[in-house]
Structure 1
Amino acid sequence: MENKVRVLHVSSPLTWRGGEQQIAYLLKGLKEAHPEIESLVVCPEGSVMEAYLTKHDNQHHSYTKRSGLSPSYIFGVLKSIKSYKPNIIHIHDAHAHTAVVIAHLIIGSKIPIILHRRVDFHLKSAFFSRYKYEYKHIQKVICISNAIKTIVSESNIDKDKLELIYSGVDPNRLINTGADIRKELGLDKDKVLIGNIAAIADHKDYFAFIKVIKELRIKNPKIAGLIIGDGPQRNEIENFVKKENLEEHIHFLGYRADANSLIFDLDLFLMPSKTEGLGT
């Protein structure tokens, strides 16, 4: 135990998106290639991440998180820093970033921090939003694309701290398990399925997705749209589908753990995102 390098990973989403999958890859890779590194993950109670970590026997602490900036979660992070005594803290998202910096300040910690930046949203101008990027104990900021590296450079952070490391993909996860989405939804076998697998959020631009499906159906009425994922904009997008009279032709599947298999049932993958962290 004394010879181990202890890394505290901090993740705040309740749902599972690309960033959470990258954490899963990282934990697996560290365990297989670097047995000298020990990992513990802090995540919200009831999150998909908590379920994943439990299933795969990964060390974790889970705390209540009721909002984006949840005091109970911040003090949970603080508790884990004090009890686990990590050599490195690895932050994986914006709310985790806020929680770690506040906890770090409260206890006067000097533990080095690594920040992972996976989204290409521009940094907010508010004082604390800027401060947390320029926080002196952040040793490295991992940017998953040049676009993100450029955006983070807008802050006063030391540019030498920025590291470009692309996100990985495990092709072995793309296995056709024989899922039959047409049968599941009661669709004809000759239906042409056009789908997207992504969170239902503004930057994914599902309004454009729906408009494309509507336009294509004029030429080919056998086309149906599949929205695989969930998110804060779901009700708004469902209402837009109703407004366009497409309820019978666009199907919401919600979050699916077998999404990597469902992709084999699609005839066309349509990703109309306004921005993508790795695709810009």
Structure 2
Amino acid sequence: MSETATAAASGASATERFHADKSPFEAVKDTPPERVDALARAVLDSVYATIREQRVTYDEYNALKAWLINVGQDGEWPLFLDVWVEHVVEEVATDHREGSKGTIEGPYYVPGAPERGAKASVPMRENEAGTPLHWTGTITSTDGTPLEGASVELWHADSDGFYSQFAPGLPEWNLRGTFTVGADGVFEIETVQPAPYQIPTDGSCGKLIAAAGWHAWRPAHLHVKVSAPGHEQLTAQLYFPGDEHNDDDIASAVKPELVLDPQKQADGSATVDYGFVLDPVTSAKD
């Protein structure tokens, strides 16, 4: 690529995309003051307890202030929240489900990926790097009924860990596609196996990682959103066995149920069979 991907550029893109695609305040505009009060007080009480328990100094407090300001200036709030907070929100939001397990969306989802039909390749460059992956699966409801018209939105990083529309030099919809199934609920997708990658470390999130002595690695994964009329949307990431960061993913997003079982083929490619079970909307808790 002629330009170099940076945390600041990636963060700015994620922030811009979040504002363009979501209306977060509209969804909670009718939240009663009592709920806002309870949430705000609970968060602040946790902060107070940490300060007292850890005997936070003024130097540490001022360093925190400076860091929080820098996170905003770098445009890294979507990255920070999606990496370190979202997995618990997802856990609470989906704990009633009987169907397939999900996990975090992450900061690099883009709606409107090209429709490819039920059996097709994800858009990719000629000679896209990575092990070719032939993925088959069926989308059903919790009673086993195939869900005609259900769709799988797939997106993932390339072999360098970069996502299209968030890094320079990549085709707009590279490794992003939507696959809509017929009456049998079956899809077949041709893509490539992505590589593990580090989240951007040249910005404020990277400073936290370095200061805390953490690593910045995410295991290789495929992102999906699976939808069907009358059913709850499933957001998930699918992982590959043997990845050294499956057990210490910086985003804490790996679940055993989301680890694939790819089978190597004689030509060097891999095949995998993995489908999805969606919960009817009526099964959701109030």
Pick 1 or 2: higher relative contact order, CA cutoff 8 A, min separation 6. Answer: 2
Between Structure 1 and Structure 2, which shows a larger proportion of helix residues? 1
Q: TM bucket by the smaller chain? A: under 0.3
TM-score (norm 2): 0.23
